Amino acid sequence: MKITAADVIVTSPDRNFVTLKITTDEGITGLGDGTLNGRELAVASYLADHVVPLLIGRDPHRIEDTWQFLYRSAYWRRGPVTMAAIAAVDVALWDIKAKAAGMPLYQLLGGASRNGIMAYGHASGRDLPELFDSIRQHLEQGYRSIRVQTSVPGVNAVYGVAAQSTDGLRYDYEPARRAPLPAEEDWDTRAYLRHLPGVFEAVRNEFGPELPLLHDGHHRMTPIQAAKLGKELEPYDLFWLEDCTPAENQEALRLVRQHTTTPLAIGEVFNTVWDYQTLISEQLIDYVRSAVTHTGGITAMRKLLDYAAQYQIKSGIHGPTDISPVGMAAALHLDLAIHNFGIQEYMRHGAATNEVFRQSFTFTDGYLHPGEQPGLGVELDEEAAARFPYQQAYLPFSRLKDGTVHDW
Ligand code: CS2
Ligand code: MG
């Protein structure tokens, strides 16, 4: 089998997506996701201008060789743009291989290790009544695990609170904003630290001790602040506290780990196993948060998760709406097959996205399943995709009250 064409399709139904479609001389095609929120065109160009010419004529079955060729022949290593581009190729090749084998992709990864994939959804509210309503809505939608995000008194706009995104410029389902400039938001960590433990006490009092609750710190605390919050949240038995502190300095998590038993999840902004080496080998985290799309694809993500498994660390694959249905499908096939599965983030895509990407996954009684169609189980409607051209969009950024730029 030979690759005869590779097309980069940028479309913006509910938000911008970058999809790679690889076509073979046997008529089998494969899809890969290369979406990088706020920097989509960088990946589209990396693929179209630098990678596609290298793919034509290659044997699509040589997935490992193609991965190593793209990673090593680029010379410049790692980074979100490079690894998202490699991921798009890798996932498309796995899609082709599984279609050629007539099997759903997870069968090529060792078959199912569980009946279904536990998912968590995003509940949020500007105040407790709104938050409780959001939790109830998610429970009614079938979620059995809930992420809790809330506004902070004195802070105008906080990450993850859906009700705030009412300016008509944001995508309905996630924080990117369709505008020529990033939105500026404010932040106050001390106000956040004073407020959050009381929110989780109220949620536990209202919903009981069993419901798995998650929270995303979104990189905003120093290690000692993260340690303080982790310790103060222990009575509320969180499933995980995510991105409690920026982790480029992986050793910073040693301080957090010394002070709290709250489980820690990190890595959605990471893109290679090297970003995790200390975090995993010293068991400084409990869940690996990377998305297949941002970590070099299924080939690399499987190796990362197998390394994590040696240290009893589990998966918590990133699944926001800026991971396309193609990237989400890749995650589900991996989730079903690996032994050290933890949980899967599942933000629902909008109707226009579901029109462009026809999917075969199911969500039943809190569990996801990728389906039994050969390959990934996703088809791209290119005519529909063409109706939604790219729109400049950026993630917000934060400033502290004195004007200092802060992690958003
Ligand atoms: C968040 C993301 O889902 C999460 O855990 O951290 O929504 C993140 O803000 C976006 O993926 C950024 O594009
Ligand atoms: Mg996150």
Instruction: Give residues (CB < 6 A) around ligand 1.
Output: 37, 174-175, 216, 218, 268, 320, 322, 345, 395
CA of 340 to the centre of ligand 1 (A): 22
CATH code, 170: 3.20.20.120
pLDDT above 70: residue 168: no
Same domain for 216 and 87? no
Same domain for 304 and 171? yes
- Per-residue model confidence as pLDDT tens digits over 36-82: 999 999 999 999 999 999 999 999 999 999 999 999 999 999 999 99
Same domain for 65 and 117? no
Catalytically annotated residue among 218, 219, 349, 369:
218
d(C-alpha 10, C-alpha 31), whole Å = 13
**pLDDT value at residue 188:** 97
pLDDT above 90: residue 385: yes
Same domain for 190 and 242? yes
d(C-alpha 229, C-alpha 225), whole Å = 6
Whether 143 and 213 have beta carbons less than 8 Å apart is answered as: no
CA of 108 to the centre of ligand 2 (A): 29
Q: What's the CA angle centered on 38, arms 408 and 76, to 5 degrees?
A: 100
Q: Is residue 402 part of a domain?
A: no
Which band of pLDDT confidence, cut at 50, 70 and 90, is reported for residue 176?
confident
Protein residue with least CA distance to atom 1, ligand 1 = 320
Containing structural domain, residue 23: 3-104
Contacts 24+ apart (CB under 8 A), 304-307: 304/272, 304/273, 304/276, 305/334, 305/338, 305/340, 306/338, 307/273, 307/276, 307/280
Protein residue with least CA distance to atom 9, ligand 1 = 175
What are the beta bridge partners of residue 216?
Answer: 242
Which band of pLDDT confidence, cut at 50, 70 and 90, is reported for residue 172?
very low
d(C-alpha 30, C-alpha 23), whole Å = 7
Question: Collapsing DSSP states into helix, strand and coil, what is residue 378?
Answer: strand
Q: Is residue 400 part of a domain?
A: no
CA of 379 to the centre of ligand 1 (A): 25
CA of 156 to the centre of ligand 2 (A): 20
Protein residue with least CA distance to atom 6, ligand 1 = 218
Residue 241 tokens read as 């506290």
Whether residue 218 lies in the annotated active site: yes
Which band of pLDDT confidence, cut at 50, 70 and 90, is reported for residue 165?
low
Which band of pLDDT confidence, cut at 50, 70 and 90, is reported for residue 169?
low
- Per-residue model confidence as pLDDT tens digits over 84-123: 999 999 999 999 999 999 999 999 999 999 999 999 999 9
Q: Is residue 404 part of a domain?
A: no
Same domain for 182 and 40? no
Residue 313 tokens read as 């660390």
Same domain for 187 and 219? yes
Whether residue 159 lies in the annotated active site: yes
Q: Is residue 290 part of a domain?
A: yes
- Per-residue model confidence as pLDDT tens digits over 217-270: 999 999 999 999 999 999 999 999 999 999 999 999 999 999 999 999 999 999
Q: Which ligand is nearest to the CA of 120?
A: 1
147 CA: nearest ligand 1 atom: 5
**pLDDT value at residue 159:** 85
Q: What's the CA angle centered on 208, arms 205 and 212, to 5 degrees?
A: 120
d(C-alpha 200, C-alpha 204), whole Å = 6
**Domains in the chain, number:** 2
User: Average per-residue pLDDT in the chain?
Assistant: 96
Whether 157 and 186 have beta carbons less than 8 Å apart is answered as: yes
Residue 221 makes CB contacts below 8 A (sequence gap 6+) with 189, 193, 229, 244, 245
**pLDDT value at residue 161:** 87
Q: Which ligand is nearest to the CA of 267?
A: 2
What percentage of the chain has pLDDT greater than the value 90? 93
* 46-to-52, 372, 376 alpha-carbon distances in Å: 9, 32, 23
pLDDT above 80: residue 162: no
Q: Is residue 332 part of a domain?
A: yes
218 CA: nearest ligand 1 atom: 6
pTM (whole model) above 0.95 = yes
- Per-residue model confidence as pLDDT tens digits over 177-223: 888 899 999 999 999 999 999 999 999 999 999 999 999 999 999 99
Q: Is residue 407 part of a domain?
A: no
CATH code, 17: 3.30.390.10
- Report which of 304, 300, 289, 276 is spatially closest to residue 83, judged by C-alpha positions: 300
What percentage of the chain has pLDDT greater than the value 70? 97
Q: Is residue 143 part of a domain?
A: yes
Protein residue with least CA distance to atom 12, ligand 1 = 37
Which band of pLDDT confidence, cut at 50, 70 and 90, is reported for residue 136?
very high
Which one of 104, 127, 144 terminates a domain?
A: 104
Catalytically annotated residue among 106, 120, 143, 159:
159
Q: What is the mean pLDDT of residues 294-314?
A: 98
CA of 174 to the centre of ligand 2 (A): 11
347 CA: nearest ligand 1 atom: 3
Whether 297 and 87 have beta carbons less than 8 Å apart is answered as: yes
Protein residue with least CA distance to atom 13, ligand 1 = 37
pLDDT above 90: residue 171: no
Q: 328: part of which helix (H) or strand (E)? A: helix 325-337
